[in-house]
Structures are given as structure tokens and as C-alpha cells.
Structure 1
Amino acid sequence: MTATTTAPADQPSRTDLVVIGAGVIGLSIAHAALSRGMGVLVIDRTGPAAGASAGNAGGFAFSEIHPLASADTLMASPKWLLDPLGPLSLPLRYAPMMVPWMLRFAKASLPTRVAASTRAQAALMAHAKKVLEPAMALTGTSDMLRKTGQLQVFESSRSFDAARRDCDEAAHYGYSFRPLIGADAIAGVQPGLSPRFTHGIATEDWWAIADPKLYTLALAKSLTGKGGRIDTAEARAISVSSEGVTIHLADGTTLAARQAVVAAGAHSHRLAASLGDRIPLETERGYNTTLPPGAFDLRRHITFSEHGFVAAPLSTGIRIGGAVELGGLDLPPNYARSKAMLKKAEGFLPGLKTADGTEWMGFRPSLPDTLPAIGRASRAPNVIYAFGHGHLGLTQSAGTADLVAALLTGAPPAIDLTPFAPNRFKGLL
């Protein structure tokens, strides 16, 4: 299936909106704009669903309101970093480039900032959950939604107690959790796990998609079927004038639009820089292996919290992946990380069939305080940024699209966007 179309010869020279990025965020925004009567062109350097939107774990993790930037993460980081194949890795040759980002991360981990980030994340999550099903109905993708829930499992009571504290706070925002003590209680939710896991937490406030790549491609097909356009083109820079926005492409040509949205994932900060906005976007490189259907009787998402990865049941197989490698955009993949997670999963899920898997690496666009950038460019009010969702791009896609559509049409956004202001890091270092 292809979603790319060619513009007709009599196409107007200036369209209403150009969305840069054909991942789940960009395509969701394009749908929201199209439904509000705007003419929409989406461009992407490699086409729809070619980045993180293709290889994520497929979860709508609405209850994940706590920022990665926290004192707990800072305390655990030295231990994690000592294991090159553990939950967090920082290749030595990339470490100097990460220093400014890590300093901002440390500042975002102060208690007052963690509390503010949690409140902002909870507001975005609640809005994303509210608008997801109507958005899916609009795009004809409702049959891909699964409300199967999630299970976190733990080998130690200490890790379990720490996770329960986060769950207790999330409960104040309406999310429910069920503690499970003992292997038998865990088996009642998900049979077949190793008895080494003695504690668990189950939640039904975690939904899933049948397959994230197929979902993103379905969004692309729906968009073109409704009159939107998608072209393969690489945006290198953006300039503005009183008449609108000009997108400068890698082949030397330009596109003109009245407004533009930058939703290019991990590449977005380079376009923002062309408008004078220095946004500290980094990449959390994630790895996974997708095993064929039938590899295990997995009934819901399983999060191995102490090991930093998940097992996800998709319509296309069982996906084992996660972890974080802070390695930028240019270092070659280190697939030893996906192999290490698969080896662990083999012990955690006795009977898991590990043959014939497909390995993948993708770039999660991440900002130091775990919140995305949603708002206008500082010097170009007709350019809107929507990137930096980290692990939560799929989860927050419909909510982000609704908020961006409000900005595009001059309507009041459903939540306060101040915590997500793209320029919030200015002057921090």
C-alpha cells in the first residue's frame, strides 16, 4: 500500500497547511486540520510510518504520567550506565554531546519541577484519552484499538513499593491499579511468567493498538482518501514572510504554505534551528525484536520494570523491546541491545519461541523534562512545533493533534499549553 500522491498540475502554489513529518503525530495533526476544513499537504523524508511510529510497542500508556526526569532516575542512572546492555546506555563517543541535555535533565528532576511536569503530563494524557476514540472513528481505525490492559512485574518488594507510590499519585488523576502479590496472583492475569516475579501491578487504563506501523499507514491511507496529500520530500529549513511560510527542500525546491507544523520527530530540532529556536531535543534510541505470531500466549503488555523493557502482543507478532540508548542520530545501531533483551525475555517467559525474529532500532525524540514541545515558533507564529514526545508519541498523538488544530484555527486549546512551550528551556544553561 502506498499513501504518496502527486499534486495535480493546477494545484494552487500556496496550500493552507504543510505538515512536516508522516509519523503518527504528523498524520494525526493532518487529519485534525483536514476535518476543520483546511487543505493539507504532509511531507516526509522517507514516507509514512518510516520512523519510531513503525517500531514502538503499540501501547496507549495513559497512566504513565510521571516524568522520566526524576530523582529516582538520577539515582539509578550510575548503576544502569555501568551495564552497556542495560536499561540506559550512553556510548562514550557521544557522551560529550549529551552534557548540556543531561544538565537540563538534572534540573528538571528537582522536586518542584517533577511535580509541575507530572501535572502537565496528566492533563495531556487525560485529553489524549478523551479524544482518541472519536479520532479513530474519524479515520476508520476503531477496529485496531485493544483495551487489554498492562501488567508491571517485579522481582523485589523494594521496586514494587516504589512503583506503588507512583501508582498512588496517578490514582489521584483517576487511574486505577491492582496490586498482585505472589506468582499465583500474577498468573491469574498473565499465565506463563517465570516465578521469579513475585510482585505485580495490573491496570486496565493502558490500551493498545493492533500494530503501530499498520495503524500509521491506515492514517495515511485515510488522509489521502479524504483529499489530503502526502509527498516524499526532505525539509531542510523554513523561512517566513508576511505572506506565509516557505519550506526549503533538500532537492533545492520550495513549498509555500499559509501555515506549517513541524512534527518530524527526532529531526525536528534542526528545522526549528532554521527559525532561530534552539531546542534541546535528543534521541532515546530504542531497540526491539518482533517474533512471529504464536511465539507466546501473551494476553496484555508486560513491563519488566527493573529491566527497562516490555513484551507487547501485536497482531503481527510478539514485540520484545525498549531500553534507552542516548546515542544521537548518526551512530550505527548496536543490535547487541535487542539480543540482550530477547535473551532476558526467554528466561522471563519460559516457552517463548525466539526464532525468526526481526530486529529494529528507532529514534524516540526526547526533551529533558519528558514533556513534548507543543506551541508556536518564537519568531514565526504561523509555524507550530509538535515534537519531543519520547516514549509517548502514540499515546499522545490524538491529544496533540487536537491541541495543534486549535492553534491552527485560532480556537482556545483544551488544556493550558504553557508547560509545553517550545522556548521553555531558553536561559536554563
Structure 2
Amino acid sequence: MTSQELRGHLAELAAVRSDDDPILSLYLDIRWNDEQQRDRVRVWLQERTKAALAGRAEPEQASLARTLEQARELVQQTFERSAGEGKRGLALFACGRIGLWKPLFFHEPLENQFTVDRVPRLLQLARLAGELEPALVVLASVRGAHIYEVAANEVVGEITVAGPMPRRVGDASFGAGAGEQFERAEKNARHVDELLARFRRMAADELVHLFDRAPRSHVVLFGPQQALANFERELPERVCDRIAARYPAPAEGTNGNGGAGGRAELVARAAEAVAVAQARDEIARIDGAVGQALRGSLSVLGLEDVVLAVNERRVGRLLLEADFDADGWRCKQCGAMGVEHTRTCNFCEGPLELVPSLGDELVRRVLADDGEVQVVAHANKLHSYQGVAAQLRQASQTGLSGSPAQPNQPWAT
């Protein structure tokens, strides 16, 4: 599954809510090599199923039991490899009452998680979406380029845009004088250069077309130095800005249509370059958010101010550490979130319910408001602000932090 497809699933799930029956969010690491591992998962699921059903009244209990039985059957099919063959992770979101049944299989392992709530838990999916950013790997030559589309470190498409090497006519020409020979050689050289430039432009146009279909893609270039320089001059600025690395031509024997070994080497080196570029982008994003917040610009830091901004639906991008762990409350009446546990909602004085995973709730709400979520590695600078920051669409009427003067509409922009 590509990052773009996963983001589509995230946007769809972020809008889902069930006030009658709870929604099951199930994440599983399905790298099961023996029956003992499968037995441990069965016991784990049985225990959590029993706990989820305990104390629930009819008909909610019966409806939830049917959903959980369907989930158990899917897991059993995965045990038997009749579902999810060759995959390493499973995420399932299900609720019989609202007709939700969305199993997603991944090549990447997931951390086992079982929750039932009125909304789906999306933090793991959001983190995975960042790790699955696509890449375009280009093996350039004087004749054009071979382009690989890479998703989750696997080649999902490839195309060659290159012409035959034009023949250069020698300087010798029977029956011609020295001046005429030079003129013919010069004309032939221009013709060859024009053909090669045409092949190069065609290859660059194909790369731009692929990039515009997935503008989050990183670009990794391989090839001789002069060929790369010529090829890069044909690319628009938006593509050049996403170049993660430039490498010399591969070892002898790896050509534009290289075999599995040569292609695997290109993909592996590209994956390393993309990982470095992503880490660099994360640091730059954190530095930018912290700098903006300290200057009083459109960013906020720390859990309290971020929660307020999410309540007011002002968050354009949420930055959250992968190991973020906090709980809070959610008002049953107006839906506002809070950090400090009080007797009633600070906004409407309605009844409260515990939110045991505030990170999941922040992710869901930002995605539901068409914002972006970036789950980042542990960073000291962000961790000093409780591991959370937000870049805003707009400031509140009272500034970037603090409670609004009229807080009875916490979601109002």
C-alpha cells in the first residue's frame, strides 16, 4: 500500500464516529512463524474480547459481540494464510451498527493494539503513513533514464525513456576537402547532441508526470556526474527541491534495465537516502514550529495550547512524537477536549469522559479537519514541550495561546 492510498484511508476513517456501538480498532503484528505464537495471539484476543464485552447492556453487547466474532474469523484466516499472505501487519476497523469493516494489510509490522471506542484509533496508521513516503529512483544516462517507482521499499512500477545511441560519423570523408570534412563532422555532432537532448527531455517529462501524481515523493538520482547535471537541468524547481541524494553510476553490470540484484541495490541505497532526508525534514519542521511559536507566529507548543488549537479547529499540521503518551478528557455534550481532569467541561459544563489516548484523539481531529499529521522520532527540542506542537492556519482572537474570552464554542474558528 502506498502512502497516498493510506492517507486516503486515514481521511475516511477520521470522519467516522459511532455513538451507539463502539468501533473496534485492532492492530496486529502477523509475523507468526509457529503455532505457539498463534496461541499467544488467540489468548490475547480472547482476554481483550471478554473485557470489551463485560458490563455492556443489550443490545450493544450483542452487536459488539458479532463485530468481535467477525474480527476473530479474519484473524483465524490470517493464521491459515488464506488472508494477508506475505504481509507483516494487519489493521482492522469494524463496527456492525454503522456498517464499518475495513481490514488493511501491510508489508510493515504493527504493534499489537485492541481498543473499542466511539471513534477509531489512528495514531499507528498516521505514523506508518509517514514511513511509507514514496520515492522515484532515477538511473540516468546520456541516452535518457530508467525510472523506478518505489513504495514501502518495493518497486511498484518502472519505465525506461531512452533512445538508441546515435552513430557519430568519423571525420574522414572520401573525396572531400578538409573544410568540408570539418563542416560535416560539426553538423553530425550537433545532430547527435540534439537527439540526446530530446531523449533527456522526454525522460525528465516522464519523471515530472510521475512526481505530480505523488508530490510527496522523494527523488534519488544515480548516474555519471555529467549525465546527472544535464538531466537535472531539465527538471522544474518543485522536483529539484525533493531530490534526496545524488549517487554515481552503479557498479559495472547494473544497467538501466538491470536485473533483480542491481535493482535491489538501487532501491536499498535509495531507501537509506530517503530515511536520512525524512529525518532532516523532521528536524527542520520541529525547528520551524518552535521558532515560530517563540516569535509569537502561527505555531503553538505544549499539550495545553495544542489541545486548545485543535478544539478551535485552527491546526494545519500536528507534530507528535512517536512515543507521545498522555490522557485527557472529552466532553460528551460539546465534544471539546481538555488536559486537566475537572468535574465538568470547562467550556459548556457538560459531563466528561476519559480519553486514555489523547494522541489518537488529536490525530483523528486534525485529520478530520483536513489538517496534516507528522509523527516524528523522539527529539529533545520537541520533547521539552511535552512532545507535541502544531502549526496553525490562523491565530485565535486572543493570540496564539491561552483561553479565548468566550469559550462556550470551543470548536469555533
In our comparison, the structure showing a higher alpha carbon Rg is 2
Q: Which TM-score applies when normalising by structure 2?
A: 0.23
Kindly indicate whether structure 1 or structure 2 has the higher relative contact order, using CA contacts under 8 Å at least 6 residues apart. Answer: 1
| Structure in which a larger fraction of residues adopt strand | 1
